[in-house]
Amino acid sequence: MTVQLHNASLSLAFNGIKSAGAVEKSVAKLSTGKKHLNASEDAGGFEQSIRIENEQKLASIAARNLQNLISYTQMQEGALGEAADILQRMNVLSQLALDVTKTDTDRIAYNHEFVELTNELNSIKRLKLNDVNLFQGDPVYLTINDPVYSEDKANFINILRSQWLKGAEKTVNDRLGLQGTKQINLIIEVSEEPAYPVLISESYEGNNAKLKFFLDTYQQAGFPVTSPSDWAERYNVQAMTRLILRDNLYYEALANGNQNKGTSTEGGAHWFKDGVEEFIHGGDYLIQYSGASSLTDLVNAMGSGDDQGGGILGRASNYLSVRYLHEELKTAGATEGVKTMLRWMSDQVADGETAEQSSIGAALVNFIPAKYTTISTANDEFISDYKANAATELGAKIQVYNSDTGAIGGFDAENGAKAVISVADAVPNSGPGYEITSPVKNPTSGFNVLWEGEDNVLAPNDQLLETVEMISVENLESHNLRTIESANATLLKIEELIDSLSNERASVAANTKRILTQRDNFESTLNAQENALSRIADTDFAKESTTLAKNQIKSQASMAILAQGQESRFSLQKLLAGVRTSGKKISSPPQAF
């Protein structure tokens, strides 16, 4: 007879194999320390652990950057402490020089040391950490990571850095005679999110201006993102015009110095703001596609002139109004028309004049006194004059279908006295100041350009450090120890500098406290993420060790029982080997299998 393995034996063998597999799995988890050996075990947990690990890397880099900033502020504090010691000695020298028993020869000796100490203060003022100024430097910002861009985005940023921004800035300077004054931090962001038909959005907060370029819209519009594009440059130069006008003028009180002009709370004069933006590049194409049936209809489309809106027809009318203003100014003797007017308005602001004295109304009164005599009403009077007379005055001067765009300084705007400015020439791509160069972080000369990473780690509110100045004696002709009179004035100056130095040291202390708080926040975040990651991704060694032991016992028990069953089968074969049946030979022993 043959002994068969029944279902219980097969089940026992299967469980043994299963337990052996579980043992291997437990050993792998214990050796790697990971709860999930592959994503299929827990897809959500696996994805969550990867995301937290990435966040940890960014936070750890940020914490390291903050540690470097602590070193930066510590160097500032050390330098200011040394300056305090120098000032105390200069204060003593000033007091000694006031001694009436001292001769001028004695005072010259004191003054010699005083001058040397002044030079030492100036040398401290020039100290740097890794080529970053400790004092009088650019604002210090926290950058958490070096972002990795898509190929299209990287190409787009490179062309912004190598030509588009500087080309736009140079165009505004050439056409309008204005440029940035380094007072604005220009933050550039390039987004790949859908926003069609918006190419560029702008936002302003104090001295911070953000330009957001929508790469997807550039691509949908068919503009290349690896080289300058004629029509794309039009939008870039218009955005730059707005920035530079904001930097040079009272942009929110432009009409007559009043922010609440008509229904506008932005200073009114949108006819002028829009018109100058179009005039910089040339807006003849607006007239061509405006749908207006006549020049008179186009002129009347301006509306009040104070409010934004009106679509392509309204912008075409605003452009036409600045063309009309340009002609009026040249007739009145302003040789470069709108360019002359804008430079005058900018100079008024730079000289400390009020918004009213720097407004469009003030400029009209200054340049065209035969027509305009009152600053508060001149803007509105110009709009009325434009609507009444522009169609007649400009009828023979607007050449919509020739190759000139109508830009300021071009053939049409200067009545044939200048060269043609075509669409390709509106923002040149070659020549001094326009050539394509290697990408640089700040391609402009009038703005502090900052680049926002994909994770939005750089923003106006991320400025960590207040600017800290190093005090010094600037005028040694007025402040010296050569005479009792100059020593007395110097003593007052030194006392003033000591007070200023105390304020600067307080700023450093505030900076340090803020950085330490930021660092503590990052460390707290890192600890919380570490705990969360451990719960999600790390093996529970106690539990997994128990599981390993259990499965090892089950596997070993299955093997032992199967082995014992095999031994029992052979014993049964031996027992039956000599049994005879009636009338037959001794049967052959059963074959094991």
pLDDT tens for 65-118 read 777 788 888 888 898 899 899 999 999 999 998 888 888 888 889 889 998 998
Output the CA–CA distances (angstroms, integers) from residue 567 to 319, 544, 573, 574, 592, in the order listed.
104, 34, 10, 11, 11
Structure tokens of 221? 């519009």
Residue 535 has a pLDDT of 66
Q: Which amino acid is at 174?
A: D
For domain 45-140+466-536, give the CATH superfamily.
f41 fragment of flagellin, N-terminal domain (1.20.1330.10)
The pLDDT-based confidence of 343 (bands split at 50, 70, 90) is: very high
Non-local (6+) Cβ contacts of 472 within 8 A are 118, 121, 122, 125, 497
Structure tokens of 410? 């071009």
- What is the tens place of the pLDDT at every residue in 204-233? 887 888 899 999 999 999 988 888 888 889
- Average pLDDT estimate for 287-308: 89
Residue 554 has a pLDDT of 63
Sheet holding 448-451, edge to edge: 200-205, 208-214, 185-191, 448-451
The three-state secondary structure class of 519 is helix
- What is the tens place of the pLDDT at every residue in 303-317? 888 887 778 999 999
**Cα dihedral 61/67/73/75 (nearest 10):** -120
Between CA 424 and CA 428 the distance in angstroms is 7
The three-state secondary structure class of 427 is coil
Question: What is the helix (H) or strand (E) element at residue 212, kind and residue range?
Answer: strand 208-214
Between CA 79 and CA 318 the distance in angstroms is 55
- Give 525's DSSP letter: H
User: Percent of the chain, pLDDT > 90?
Assistant: 36
CA-nearest of 269, 446, 411 to 342 is 269
Count Cβ atoms within 10 A of the Cβ of residue 180 and give its class: 0-12 exposed, 13-18 middle, 19 or more buried.
Answer: buried
Count Cβ atoms within 10 A of the Cβ of residue 493 and give its class: 0-12 exposed, 13-18 middle, 19 or more buried.
Answer: middle
The pLDDT-based confidence of 571 (bands split at 50, 70, 90) is: low
Whether the CB-CB separation of 408 and 175 falls below 8 Å is answered with yes
- What is the tens place of the pLDDT at every residue in 396-436? 899 998 999 999 999 999 999 999 999 999 999 888 888 88
Return the higher-pLDDT residue of 458 and 355. Answer: 355
CA atoms within 13 A on the CB side of 81: 8
- Average pLDDT estimate for 353-367: 96
Residue 261 has pLDDT above 80, yes or no: yes
Residue 496 has a pLDDT of 87
Residue 64 has pLDDT above 90, yes or no: no
Return the domain boundaries, the chain: 7-33+539-576, 45-140+466-536, 141-228+427-463, 262-423
Residue 187 has a pLDDT of 86
Phi then psi for 261, rounded to 5 degrees? Answer: -105, 110
Question: What is the helix (H) or strand (E) element at residue 204, kind and residue range?
Answer: strand 200-205
Residue 478 has a pLDDT of 77
Whether the CB-CB separation of 375 and 256 falls below 8 Å is answered with yes
Between CA 233 and CA 230 the distance in angstroms is 5
Residue 385 has a pLDDT of 96
Residues listed for the chain: 593
Residue 46 has pLDDT above 80, yes or no: no
Between CA 492 and CA 65 the distance in angstroms is 41
- What is the tens place of the pLDDT at every residue in 148-205? 678 888 889 889 989 999 999 999 999 999 999 988 888 898 888 889 889 999 988 8
The pLDDT-based confidence of 336 (bands split at 50, 70, 90) is: very high
Between CA 319 and CA 315 the distance in angstroms is 6
Please report the DSSP string for 216-232 in residue order. Answer: HHHHHTT--SSS--HHH
Q: Is the peptide bond before 439 cis (omega within 30 degrees of 0)?
A: no
Non-local (6+) Cβ contacts of 551 within 8 A are 19, 20, 22, 23, 26
Between CA 23 and CA 548 the distance in angstroms is 5
Q: Which residue has the tokens 């936070």?
A: 59
The residues facing 208 across adjacent strands are 185, 205
Residue 272 has pLDDT above 90, yes or no: yes
Structure tokens of 414? 């200067």
Output the CA–CA distances (angstroms, integers) from residue 63 to 59, 513, 573, in the order listed.
6, 15, 76
The pLDDT-based confidence of 589 (bands split at 50, 70, 90) is: very low
- Average pLDDT estimate for 54-66: 71
Phi then psi for 133, rounded to 5 degrees? Answer: -60, 135
Return the higher-pLDDT residue of 60 and 391. Answer: 391
- Distance linking the first and last C-alpha atoms of the chain: 12
Average per-residue pLDDT for the chain: 81
